[in-house]
Amino acid sequence: MKRRPTPSRGLGSAAPHVRRDGRPKAAYRTDAEARQAAQAAWAIEGVALNAYRCPVCHQWHIGKRFRDD
């Protein structure tokens, strides 16, 4: 007997890993890699982005989030 495909359950806790346009966010293994990507975004597109550690996947993302330093 064939199994029915399981319906998708939505994003749940993975929601922070999706950009506003619905595409998945890029994840970087180190702070340095994320900062380098943020600098490239500034050089290419003139967009100021910050690197931040994700509380869900513990990797690094870039975005318009500001630090509380």
User: Residue 20: what pLDDT?
Assistant: 81
Q: What is the model's pTM? A: 0.64
pLDDT band at 52 (very low <50, low <70, confident <90, very high): very high
CB distance 67 to 50 below 8 Å: yes
Q: How confident is the model over 12-50, as pLDDT tens digits?
A: 445 567 888 888 889 999 999 999 999 999 999 888 999
Q: For residue 6, is pLDDT > 50? A: no
Structure tokens at 64: 């318009």
User: Residue 49: what pLDDT?
Assistant: 93
User: Residue 66: what pLDDT?
Assistant: 55
Structure tokens at 4: 């029915």
Which of 21, 55, 26 is closest to 40 using CA atoms? 26
